[in-house]
Structure 1
Amino acid sequence: MVTEVQWSELQRDPKHVARLADEGDVRVWRRDGVPLLLTREDRAMASSEGSVTAARALRNVLMHLPHDLAARALLDEFPWVDVMPAHAQAEFVKDFARAFQASAELGEWSVLTQTIVEWRSTAIVYADPALAAALSEPIEGDFGPVPNPMGEDPDAGEEG
Structure 2
Amino acid sequence: MVTEVQWSDLQRDPKQIARLADEGTVRVRRRDGVPLLLIREDREQSQSEGSVAAARALRNVLVHLQPERAAQWLIEEFPWADVLPEQARAQFVHDFARAFQASAELGEWSVLAQAIREWRSTALVYADPELTRALAEPIDGDFGPVPPPMGE
CA shift for structure 1 position 136: 2.1
Partners of 1:87 and 1:118 in 2: how far apart?
Answer: 16
For the pair 1:93 / 2:129, whether they are aligned, the reply is no
What is the match of residue 40 of structure 1? 40
| Alpha-carbon spacing, 1:17–1:133, altered in 2? closer, same or farther (3 Å) | same
What is the match of residue 123 of structure 1? 123
Q: TM-score, normalising length from structure 1?
A: 0.84
Runs of 4+, deviation exceeding 4 Å: 144-147
Partners of 2:55 and 2:98 in 1: how far apart?
Answer: 9
Identity percentage over the alignment?
70
Partners of 2:10 and 2:23 in 1: how far apart?
Answer: 16
| Alpha-carbon spacing, 1:107–1:86, altered in 2? closer, same or farther (3 Å) | same
Tell me the C-alpha RMSD between the 2 structures. 1.9
Q: Counterpart of 1:131 in structure 2: which amino acid?
A: L
For the pair 1:57 / 2:57, whether they are aligned, the reply is yes
Identify unmatched segments of 5+ residues in structure 1. 150-160
| Alpha-carbon spacing, 1:124–1:140, altered in 2? closer, same or farther (3 Å) | closer
What is the match of residue 28 of structure 1? 28
Partners of 1:35 and 1:142 in 2: how far apart?
Answer: 50
CA shift for structure 1 position 128: 1.5
Give secondary structure in 2 for the equivalent of 1:92: helix
Partners of 2:56 and 2:34 in 1: how far apart?
Answer: 32
Partners of 1:6 and 1:140 in 2: how far apart?
Answer: 56
CA shift for structure 1 position 131: 1.9
Alpha-carbon deviations, 1:84-127, whole Å to 9, x = none? 11100000000000011111111111111111111111111111
Partners of 1:74 and 1:53 in 2: how far apart?
Answer: 20
Identify unmatched segments of 5+ residues in structure 2. none
CA shift for structure 1 position 32: 2.1
CA shift for structure 1 position 146: 8.1
Which moved further from structure 2: 115-124 or 30-39? 30-39
CA shift for structure 1 position 130: 2.3
Identify, as 1 or 2, the structure richer in helix.
Answer: 2
Q: Counterpart of 2:142 in structure 1: which amino acid?
A: F
Partners of 1:141 and 1:26 in 2: how far apart?
Answer: 58
